[in-house]
Amino acid sequence: MKNIFEFAEAFFQLTDVDDKLALTHQAWHTYTTGDLTFSSDQPVLPIDQVIFPERPELLAPRQMPRRKLTTPDGVAAFFHAIAHVEFVAIYLAWNILYRFRGMPEQFYRDWLRVADEEAQHFALIRAHLRAMQLDYGDLPAHSGLWDHAKDTADDLPGRLAMVPRCMEARGLDVTPALIEKFRARGDDASVAILTRILTDEVGHVELGSYWFKFVCQQRGFDAEAKYRELIDQYYVGGKPKGPFNRELRKMAGFSDAELDWLEC
């Protein structure tokens, strides 16, 4: 297999977690050796044909049990939740490069790299869970993340606004404080994993900002106004609640005007 869209279709049809990770890394390796192709005349499959593993059980956000970081079970549940976020993030990266055709080749390279990095994150967290005698799928997980992909299946600006520039950007706001909590507990392994994820996620959100502005310019939109419009359209509850990490968000391509609007 040499074509990026064939790799994506194969990823979506696999049922085994390890097979999905291996295929993602294989696709990235194929790119690094110069063998990956980026053209296809095959139709894009409907998003409802995407297959997820049987486990974990997916629950609505309001049904998810509360977790506290003050107990070993709470820490394990927290990392299981993070593992699920990273696992779905692999899907989201594959999905954006698969669904939206006619973009510059760099767009597809960028999101393939994101898919590979999200797969690395997932593997790190899964090993951490196994050290706590837990595996991915042993606990229920949040069902809402993939809804953003379905909501924006035919809207590239909407996808870029809602996934990297909204949901992923929340990690830039909350992860630094979580790192400090684990550092205060002397949990160096958790600190190292969360720091690695945070570093990469700044880059992922920055890619979202770059391609959002590219698409807005291509289509004649004012990027800041379009961002506000799309968050109002797709975000349940109006817009995200702060506090926001202005420093990291500005590193990731947010403007002061966008941040002022989010904070007001």
pLDDT tens per residue across all 264 residues of the chain: 899 999 999 999 999 999 999 999 999 999 999 999 999 889 999 999 999 999 999 888 778 877 788 899 999 999 999 999 999 999 999 999 999 999 999 999 999 999 999 999 999 999 999 999 999 999 999 878 899 999 999 999 999 999 999 999 999 999 999 999 999 999 999 999 999 999 999 999 999 999 999 999 999 999 999 999 999 999 988 899 999 999 999 999 999 999 999 999
Which structural domain range is residue 87 located in?
71-263
Domain count for the chain:
1
CATH code of the domain in which 137 resides: 1.20.1260
Residue 199 forms part of a structural domain: yes
- The beta-carbon contacts of 34-40 under 8 Å, at least 24 apart in sequence, are 35/2, 36/2, 36/3, 36/4, 36/112, 37/2, 37/3, 37/4, 38/3, 38/4, 38/105, 38/108, 39/3, 40/3, 40/5, 40/6, 40/101
Residue 167 forms part of a structural domain: yes
Residue 36 forms part of a structural domain: no
Residue 61 forms part of a structural domain: no
